[in-house]
Amino acid sequence: MSTAALELIKIVDSLPPEKAREVVDFARFLQQQAGDQEWERIVTKPGGYPKLEQFAAEAMREGAMH
């Protein structure tokens, strides 16, 4: 376990339950933000996704035929 994790455990253990819950909620918020930033990086990748774009175009053409 990392030193940061051990330190966080000590801090949370020293807090009243309602404050400990706030720390956990904030940590989850930060975790979600990191995931959101990763998705933003993926979808704004320069050059796009040619295979995905081709697949989508073919699917739309097939959908228009039916």
SS3 52: helix
Q: How far is CA 57 from CA 3, 42, 47, 63, 66, in A?
A: 49, 20, 17, 10, 15
Q: How many domains does the chain have?
A: 1
Amino acid 66: pLDDT: 63
Domain range for 24 = 3-65
Going by C-alpha positions, the residue among 4, 58, 44 that lies closest to residue 27 is 4
DSSP letter (8 states) at residue 22 = H
**pTM beyond 0.75, yes or no:** no
Q: Convert the pLDDT of each residue in 37-65 to its tens digit.
A: 888 888 788 887 888 889 999 999 987 77
